[in-house]
């Protein structure tokens, strides 16, 4: 049986994102499987996995906003910026007051610049940084612009935090934000150092942890022929895009890469994307709006379904 759609996997700790993809491939006996954004091996939570022809739709998903819950550990810095790494410095006499913590958190919201950690999948001249880091090398990295939309403490702040203590944080941020680095920088701002403890991704765009399934649950669903009930359809996953309904003639043109002169129900901007849906409700293509005297839709991705 062939599967097409999106799975929201609750990634277990200790698995890399690629290992989860390999596991899903094996369970579903499907070669076309890919994840939409890396989650650190020690982290748990939302990992969106595309299956079948939906791997072609990964670039069009709306996953610009992420939500995490992370444990901030103060008084300790490591080479990986989390508890899995080698300790670089420790300050056992650390004492951070409630007021100090509030000031630090308020300093790390809005548009910021962040340097990717050496232990990351970012590539420099084709080489992942983590491979260089494991070889004991450190190279200059370009800062990246990120946005922290919201940064708050999950529970009430304690009066004082000591060595290797710290609050759980809820972070709403832009894609590409490293929560390990945020914890490291919070520790530096507090003057005692810091790193990340536990990390859970609660949401990636519209994909939420409450809708996620474990690998064991996926295996059980496969054995009971219930995988289809776990898959989000491409139309659901791309619901943020405006809708263009294609009649039989227009659908035929789109299948062969031809443009169609149609009007959308929505006001559109040049190069805006839309879902090209057939009259029976199937997603046929991703279309790009081209304005001018005779505006038209140009297919940029046609699905082989």
Q: With the C-alpha atoms ordered 202, 204, 208, 213, is the resulting torsion angle positive or negative?
A: negative
Residues 6+ apart with CB under 8 A from 191: none
Q: Measured in Å, how far apart are the chain's first and last C-alpha atoms?
A: 14
Tokens of 54: 């939906």
Q: What are phi and psi of 220, to 5 degrees?
A: -65, -40
| Cβ–Cβ under 8 Å, residues 53 and 39 | no
Catalytic residue among 10, 40, 247, 304: 40
State yes or no: is 40 an active-site residue. Answer: yes
Q: In the chain, which ranges are E strands?
A: 5-11, 33-35, 44-51, 65-74, 76-78, 87-90, 95-97, 110-114, 123-124, 127-128, 144-153, 160-162, 168-174, 194-204, 207-208, 243-246, 273-278, 283-290, 296-302
Catalytic residue list:
40
């Amino acid at each position: 049986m062939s599967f097409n759609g999106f799975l929201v996997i609750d990634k277990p700790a200790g698995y890399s994102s690629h290992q989860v993809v390999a596991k899903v491939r094996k369970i579903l006996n499907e070669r076309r499987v890919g994840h939409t954004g890396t989650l650190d091996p020690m982290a748990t939570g939302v990992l969106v996995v595309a299956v079948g022809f939906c791997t072609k739709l990964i670039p069009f998903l709306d996953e610009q906003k992420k939500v995490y819950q992370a444990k901030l550990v103060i008084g300790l810095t490591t080479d990986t910026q989390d508890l899995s790494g080698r300790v670089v410095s420790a300050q056992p006499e650390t004492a951070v007051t409630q007021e100090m913590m509030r000031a630090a958190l308020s300093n790390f919201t809005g548009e910021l610049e962040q340097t990717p950690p050496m232990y990351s999948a970012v590539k420099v001249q084709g080489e992942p940084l983590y491979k260089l880091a494991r070889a004991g090398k450190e190279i200059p990295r370009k800062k990246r612009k990120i946005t922290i939309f919201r940064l708050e403490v999950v529970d009430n702040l304690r009066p004082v935090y000591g060595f290797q203590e710290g609050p759980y944080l809820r972070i709403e941020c832009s894609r590409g934000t490293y929560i390990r680095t945020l914890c490291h920088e919070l520790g530096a701002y507090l003057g005692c150092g810091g790193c990340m403890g536990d990390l859970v991704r609660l949401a990636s765009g519209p994909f939420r942890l409450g809708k996620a399934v474990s690998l064991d649950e996926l295996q059980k669903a496969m054995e009971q022929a219930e995988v289809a009930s776990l898959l989000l359809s491409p139309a659901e996953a791309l619901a943020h895009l405006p809708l263009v309904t294609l009649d039989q003639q227009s659908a035929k043109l789109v299948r062969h890469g031809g443009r169609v002169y149609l009007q959308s129900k929505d006001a559109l901007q040049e190069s805006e994307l839309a879902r090209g849906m057939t009259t029976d409700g199937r997603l046929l293509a991703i279309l790009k709006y081209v304005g001018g005297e005779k505006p038209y839709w140009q297919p940029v991705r046609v699905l082989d379904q």
